[in-house]
Structure 1
Amino acid sequence: MPDLLIELFSEEIPARMQKRAAEDLQKLLTNRLVEAGVTYASAAAFATPRRLTLAIDGMLAASPAVTEERKGPKADAPEKAIEGFLRGAGVTRDQLEERETPKGAILFAMIHKPGRPAAEIVAEVLDQTIRDFPWPKSMRWGSGSLKWVRPLQSILCVISDEGGAEVVPMEVDGIKSGDVTYGHRFLSPDAITVSGFDDYETKLARAHVVLRADARAETIWNDATNMAFANGLEVVEDAGLLAEVAGLVEWPVVLMGRIADDFLGLPPEVLQTSMREHQKFFSVRNPKSGQIERFITVANRTTADDGATILAGNEKVLSARLSDAKFFWENDLRVAKSDEGMNAWVKALENVTFHNKLGTQAELIERMAVLARELAPMVGADADEAEQAARVAKADLSSEMVYEFPELQGLMGRYYAQAAGMSDGVAAAAQEHYAPLGPSDDVPTAPVSVAVALAEKIDKLTGFWAIDEKPTGSKDPFALRRAALGVIRILIENDVSLRTSEAVRSANASADANDLIAFLHDRLKVYLRDQGIRHDIIDACIAMEGNDDLTLLVKRARALSETLNTDDGENLIQGFKRANNILTQAEEADGVEYSYGADVKFSETDEEKALFKALDEAEAVITPAMNAQDFITAMSAMAALRRPIDAFFEAVQVNSDNATVRRNRLNLLSRIRTICTSVADLTRIDG
């Protein structure tokens, strides 16, 4: 079975688009081949800065012949209807077959479609794929109408098998297909003729082109880490930058340069951000001091001077960039250390809008300060310190450094708060109050940081709830789902017991607290479902009083989940549901509520007496355990009821002919319901 090799060779493709483009090429072309009847064994796509490549192995040499049966009109249909069917099916009248059916005589056509050579189909689908390729941005060049991310220069399209290789003839906007590619732009720019994928990859490697992006990334990382290690240093890991740089070069050459002494005093995060954003440099730090001392750059070629000229140019450009960063840093430090300090930046935020319906950033800060002070005792923080932290947490938004590098907000606030002589707790809160920004981020744990982080997120949620700007469907422009998950994780992971409904009302009385708590519950379900806790278990716990204390709610849900994962817990649910169903039906039929009066003296069997005793013992454990919020103990005691309940139902008929005995047994079932639902609403448990 033949193999197919395609290469679309162009000017430089932006690194951020390469991976997706390779995936799109494979998906579009293989799907269209299969739709046309050409299946294959395997396919792989590759990208370099100048080429998209697709290799398909084990492709059919031709699409199979197909016979299709098409149902037509009735045999006695008007002639025009029959003629229309003939035209559509591409057959003549004598090729039709008349068959008797329950609806009468019907005409059928057997349409025979011969197979087509794979080369013919490949040419069609490749032409279509090139013309409608989904680039995020594309361009036209010259006088042609073709759009591509950058000018397309050549198309390589070769089918090969044991008998040799042949070019698939095609032409797109004046670009004819061939069996030729080109090596590295500078090191090996000559044309290369290839006969298949293995030949192609081997010859590209000789021509200074590493086809596979993962191989380029591996070379970069290995060479960089080895170079740093040889100098007693280490490279700061940055997977995103590594992937991007691997997309900028076809022949990676790693070079390590020096940072001028003038800039070594800058915070390491400033150095790292400036070098990554502006120069695509990796940071190299001293593991002992944590200070960034050198940088790694990746050239796209070897040079006679082993990169010395390249490094000299990079160091010169870097010094200019870092001069700006140093200027911002020194200016900001002067402000932070001045008499007015960070308050000058807070005052400047009076002119910065947070949201047109929620006021300025300065007004947001004021709300955060009030709320952080109120939350402080609940999270073990000093109220004065929490309020001060909230007032300066966002001050760095006015700083020159954050204006230049917005991604450093919070972090720079920590440095500036320290420079202003504020406590470590206040400084930490400036950085940590934004956290967590994602599901894998750590949550703040220092009490002051917890208070300010909660204040910021609760203010955001209540504010947008008050102006009815809630998330809808997939739209969440103000990241309220992220804020809700942040509140949940901060409370739970710090074991903070907080009545969120009270906090919501304190933050913004105009917000619908019940609706916002329901939103938090929905986010909590997602959070717990990812931890393996079933939705019905969460619902059973949400149905209980005090469900706005999310930490206790989670403890209850986890305890119930653990209990129901045991044999006793699982079987107890069946016994509980049986008791509840019998009781509910009896109450509906009798028009009364059986909720009191069960007396052991009316018991007729040992199993009945044993259940009375078991319920007394369980209640004696469950009631104090629930008061102490010891859900594990309470639910273990509840699960222990499984056996006496099972034994009761095996030995006893609840609906006795004796009215007194029946009423007593129904009141006994009511005790089962009351005791079990004091732990969680088991009626909501599936099964």
Structure 2
Amino acid sequence: MPQLLLELFSEEIPARMQAGAARDLERMAREHLAAAGFLPEALKTFAGPRRLTLVVEGLPIAQADRKEELKGPRVGAPPQAMEGFLRKAGLTQDQLVERDGVWMAFIEKTGRPTTEIVAEMVEAIIRGFPWPKSMTWGTSKLRWVRPLKRILCVFDREVVPFAIEGIEAGDVTEGHRFMRVGYGWGGQPFKVRDFDEYAKGLLEHFVVLNVEERKARILEGCKTLCFARNLELVDDIGLLEEVAGLAEWPTPVLGDMDPAFLDLPGEVIRTSMRTHQKYFAVRDPATGGLAPHFITIANVQSADGGAVIAAGNAKVLSSRLSDARFFWDEDVKVGFEPWLDKLNGVTFHAKLGTMAERVERIVALAGEIAPLVGADVAKAKEAARLAKADLASQMVGEFPELQGLMGGYYARAAGLDPEIADAIRDHYKPQGPSDAVPTAPLSVAVALADKLDTLGCFFAIDEKPTGSKDPYALRRAALGIIRTILESRYRVPLLRGISAALLGGFNHIYKSGMLSFSVRPGAAAPEDKDSQAARTTVLDLLSFFADRLKVTLKDQGKRHDLVDAVFALGDDDLVRIVARVEALDGFLTTDDGKNLLAGYKRASNILKAEEKKGWKAEGGREILPDASAPEVQLHDALRMIEKPLADALAAEDFTAAMRELAGLRGPVDAFLDGVFVNSEVPAERDNRLKTLAAVRDAMGQVADFSLIGG
């Protein structure tokens, strides 16, 4: 079937926008084609530095004839309703059909040529394209990311005739901006009539259309250059994605760097290369350290093998690294105390004070957490006091992404305790799902304090994430706390940390006059009538952690309802919570677990119905003289597991606790199937209800089974 080929050719499209543009083009094309009744066999988009391309396979020559049914007003409706419907349908009343008291319109539409539909579709896409930023140029009212130069639109090997703001669609595209076939420079136009000709022509004119092919070309070229010089490429996926969007004919070029700069921290060198110049760093495999070289990605293949390009880029890099050396030298001279003074003038948030006040809160939190993770309290407070100081340094001012990391280097240069330097360096970790968590006790204490202060303070001023919006990265902070605690397996009571963090947030707002209550030292709740607001905030934050824990465990294949069931017990030890969830998850995959859950729900439903009528479990249960065998068996089973279950829970052996509960499966089934609970004899009814309540209580020590689905 016929093929549609569309290319929107413009000036340079920013690399960061290209992947999103390809997705938007595909989505918009699918929506427009579907609205016209087309279901293409295949649809693919491409994005590059100067072009967006769409190819659609399997479109018909024309739209099929269609018959539409429109439901109108009811018979006897006001005349205004009928007039409006007739205008919409383009019919007269005698052309309508009555069906079940409602006027219906049946409209037959002749299918339109596909070229007409494509022309309308392309114009709608171009005029409504959701660029993050766009511009106009000249006298045109059209907005595009950069000036739009050409529209190539070919269907069934013929040009689709239309024009947008003076740009006529055609069958002409052009190749590389500088390189061209034969002699001379400049973009070389050429004609195409289908995608095969288009892709082949671009390659012949030095344009790699597919971004994945550009990335593969870059990686292969970089590794070849490194192999020839006995070097290793420093992997950088983010940079690879970016440079693949900067060059149509990417050509790696190896350049030399002045070895004298290698005494700078490696992260400074790499960041300077990456941020300013888009260079890849290389390392010496013999030492594992950076080598005095770099790889730049040129957009041309030069006759000299890139020698001039390499020399020019080396000069620029030397200038950049000279600036970095100046920042380093000046920062080392200044030191931490002047930086800490500067933090008094840096606003953290309008409602939360300065960065210096934030540091005070983190210091207090680190002191609270340190004993819980086995860290020295004095060292934890000192590391927390210095953790944010490098924000006032010149190096971090130039490279904000190095905050914390540079603080660690400056602490070592100042001769501070290596543990404190490591804690300063690692306190922002983890900054994403692929980032490692801090592991040393001191680092863990400061990292947790930093993130808890962020969460506590923003929850205290009611700046919580809503929907997809999370401007203060609170979800990331919560996930960072969860990962740090679970991977380090430190037993940090979450409620204690949350309470301390909220205390700092509430008290700061109180001091600033924006809150009507204060909080007692060491307490989580304010002293006056507004205490409920603080308690609600604590519960909201715990619920927020529960949701983030669900996300973490869901990635591991765990059910979210199990997290709810365990959290309902009021436990705030994440390590213990996860151990319970894992044991519960394993238990519920067994027949004993599934059947016991079903028995629990039956027993719970009976108890809820009776409790609504006013029944309460008062006094102990007993074996009545005429008790049936199932009653006796369940009574004995509950008595037999009581101590082993308590021992298993005390030892946090939740798998053993589940095994004990599994012993109730048979007796519970027999009781529910063979005993009439709502006996007409009050003593029997009361005792049997107490027995079911005992089953519910025993299982409730492990989790709230009422919150588990299934």
TM-score of the superposed pair, with normalisation by structure 1: 0.91
Distance 1:224 1:374 in 2: 49
Which residue in the other structure is 1:143 paired with? 139
- Give the superposition deviation at 1:255: 0.6
Give 1:202-351 correspondences, 5 Å limit: 202-293=200-291, 294-335=293-334, 341-351=335-345
Decide which of 178, 182, 185 is 2:174's aligned counterpart.
Answer: 182
Letter in 2 for 1:177: A
Displacement after TM superposition at 1:269 (Å): 0.9
Single out whichever of 255-264 and 436-445 deviates more from structure 2. 436-445
Which of 634, 639, 662 is residue 616 of structure 1 equivalent to?
A: 639
SS in 1 for 2:67: strand
Q: Tell me the equivalent position of 1:389.
A: 383
One-letter amino acid of the counterpart of residue 354, structure 1 = F
Residue aligning to 1:48: 48
**Paired residue type of 2:333:** R
Partner of 2:410: 416
**Distance (Å, rounded) in 2 between the aligned partners of 1:81 and 1:359:** 60
> In the alignment, is the contact (CA less than 8 A) between 1:39 and 1:60 conserved in 2?
no
Check whether the contact 2:75–2:101 (CA below 8 A) recurs between aligned residues.
no
- Which one of 397, 405, 427 corresponds to residue 399 of structure 2? 405
Q: Does 1:464 align with 2:458?
A: yes
Question: What residue is the counterpart of 1:531 in the other structure?
Answer: 556
Question: Match for residue 698 of structure 2?
Answer: 675
Amino acid at match of 2:591: D
1:355 Cα offset (Å) = 2.1
Matched, 1:685 2:677: no
Superposition map of 1:105-184 within 5 A: 110-160=106-156, 165-184=157-176
Q: 2:87 & 2:642 partners in 1: Cα distance?
A: 83
Q: For residues 464 and 616 of structure 1, what CA distance do their matches in structure 2 show?
A: 49
1:8 alignment partner, SS class: strand
Partner letter of residue 18 of structure 1? Q
Note the alpha carbon deviations across 1:225-245, whole angstroms, 9 max, x for none.
121122121111111211111
Alignment of 1:76-95 (within 5 A): 89-90=89-90
Shift of 1:356: 2.8
Worse overlay, 199-208 or 28-37: 28-37
Structure 2 counterpart of 1:40, which letter?
P
Could you tell me which runs of 5 or more consecutive residues in structure 1 were left unpaired when the two chains were aligned.
336-340
Range 254-263 or range 503-512, more displaced: 503-512
Q: Residue 88 of structure 1: CA displacement?
A: 5.3
> Helix, strand or coil for the counterpart of 2:263?
coil
Give, in angstroms, the shift of residue 664 of structure 1: 4.1
Q: Is the 8 A contact 1:594 1:666 kept in 2?
A: no
2:526: which partner in 1? none
SS at match of 1:414: helix
Q: How many Å apart are 1:658 and its aligned residue?
A: 5.6
Work out the CA distance in 1 between the residues paired with 2:77 and 2:428: 75
Match of 2:360 in 1: 366
8 Å CA contact retained: 2:96, 2:106: no
Range moving further from structure 2, 500-509 or 611-620: 500-509
Which residue in the other structure is 2:595 paired with?
571
The question of whether the paired residues in 1 share the 8 Å contact of 2:38 and 2:59 is answered with: yes
Please report how far the alpha carbon of residue 663 of structure 1 lies from its aligned counterpart in structure 2 after TM superposition. 4.5
Shift of 1:497: 2.0
| Distance of aligned partners of 1:295 and 1:99 in 2 relative to their CA distance in 1, 3 Å threshold | closer
After the TM superposition, which residues 587-598 of structure 1 pair with which residues of structure 2 at under 5 Å, given as runs? 591-598=615-622
User: What do the CA deviations read for 1:548-585 (whole angstroms, capped 9, x no partner)?
Assistant: 33332232232222222221112112223333444455
Whichever of the two has the greater Rg, that structure is: 1
Question: Is 1:489–2:483 an aligned residue pair?
Answer: yes
Cα 1:605–1:370 shift into 2, 3 Å? same
Q: 1:118 and 1:309, CA in 2 relative to 1: closer, same or farther beyond 3 A?
A: same
d(CA) in 1 for partners of 2:337, 2:225: 45
In structure 1, distance between residues paired with 2:374 and 2:194: 69
Paired amino acid for 1:568: D
Q: Alpha-carbon deviation of 1:642?
A: 0.7
Asked whether the 8 Å contact 2:360–2:385 carries over to 1, the reply is yes
Cα drift, residue 100 of structure 1: 6.2
**CA offsets per residue over residues 558-613 of structure 1, 9 Å max, x none?**
222222222111211222333344445556657452540413x7364444433333
SS of residue in 1 equivalent to 2:423: helix
Q: Distance in 2 between matches of 1:144 and 1:453?
A: 53
SS in 2 for 1:215: helix
Q: 1: distance between equivalents of 2:636 and 2:69?
A: 76
What percent identity do the matched residue pairs reach? 51
**Residue deviations 1:324-361 (CA, integer Å, cap 9, x gap):** 011112222333xxxxx422322221221222332222
Letter in 2 for 1:41: E
Deviation at 1:77, TM superposition (A): 11
Distance across 1 between alignment mates of 2:76 and 2:497: 80
Conservation of the 8 A alpha-carbon contact between 1:268 and 1:290: no
Letter in 2 for 1:24: D
Q: Distance between the aligned counterparts of 2:674 and 2:87, measured in 1?
A: 79
Secondary structure at the aligned position of 1:264 is classed as: helix
Q: Quote the offset at 1:371 in angstroms.
A: 2.2
CA offsets, 1:13-59, max 9 Å, x none? 22122222222223323422332344422111112212221111111
Residue in structure 1 matched with residue 527 of structure 2 by the alignment: none
The reply on whether 1:556 has 2:550 as its aligned counterpart is: no
The one-letter amino acid paired with 2:617 is: E
| Native 8 Å contact 2:254 2:295 kept in 1 | yes
Give 1:613's aligned amino acid. Answer: D
Q: Give a deviation string over 1:280-315, Cα, whole Å, max 9, x none.
A: 111111133232221111111122212111111111
Please point out which of 497, 518, 528 is paired with 2:543.
518
**Contact kept in structure 2, 1:140 and 1:148, CA below 8 Å:** yes
The 8 Å contact of residues 617 and 693 in structure 2, kept in 1 or not, is answered as no
1:216 Cα deviation after fit: 1.0
- What corresponds to 2:672 in structure 1? 649
Asked if structure 1 preserves the Cα contact closer than 8 Å seen for 2:641 and 2:660, the reply is yes
Tell me whether 515-524 or 255-264 shows the greater mean CA deviation.
Answer: 515-524
Q: Distance in 1 between matches of 2:556 and 2:79?
A: 68
Contact 1:139–1:149, Cα closer than 8 Å, also in 2? yes
Residue of structure 1 equivalent to 2:183: none
The SS at the match of 1:482 is helix
Identify which range, 559-568 or 590-599, moves more after superposition.
590-599
Write the deviation string for residues 454-496 of structure 1: whole angstroms up to 9, x where unpaired.
1112222222333333334443332223222222222222222
Q: Which has the larger displacement, 636-645 or 216-225?
A: 636-645
- What is the CA distance between 1:101 and its match in structure 2? 5.1
Contact 1:119 1:168 in 2 (8 A): yes
Partner of 2:63: 63
Give deviations 1:486-509, integer Å, cap 9, x for gaps. 222222222222333333334443
| C-alpha distance in structure 1 between counterparts of 2:37 and 2:690, whole Å | 71
Instruction: Give the CA RMSD over aligned residues.
Output: 2.8
Q: 1:181-220 CA deviation, whole Å, 9 max, x = no partner?
A: 1121221132211121101111111111111111111001
Name the residue aligned to 2:28.
Answer: 28
Secondary structure of 1:602's aligned partner: coil
Query: Is the 1:603–1:609 Cα contact (8 Å) retained in structure 2?
Result: no
Q: CA deviation at 1:114?
A: 2.0
Q: CA deviation at 1:656?
A: 4.9
Please report how far the alpha carbon of residue 661 of structure 1 lies from its aligned counterpart in structure 2 after TM superposition: 4.8
Partners of 2:369 and 2:557 in 1: how far apart?
A: 31
1:18 is the counterpart of 2:18: yes
Who is 2:530 aligned against? none
Task: Write the distance in 1 (CA, Å) between the matches of 2:614 and 2:238.
Answer: 69
- The 3-state SS of whatever aligns with 1:402 is helix
Distance 2:584 2:76 in 1: 72
Structure 1 equivalent of residue 511 of structure 2: none
> What amino acid is the match of 2:376?
D
Q: Residue 302 of structure 1 aligns to which amino acid in structure 2? A: Q
State how far apart, in whole Å, the 2-side matches of 1:82 and 1:465 are: 55
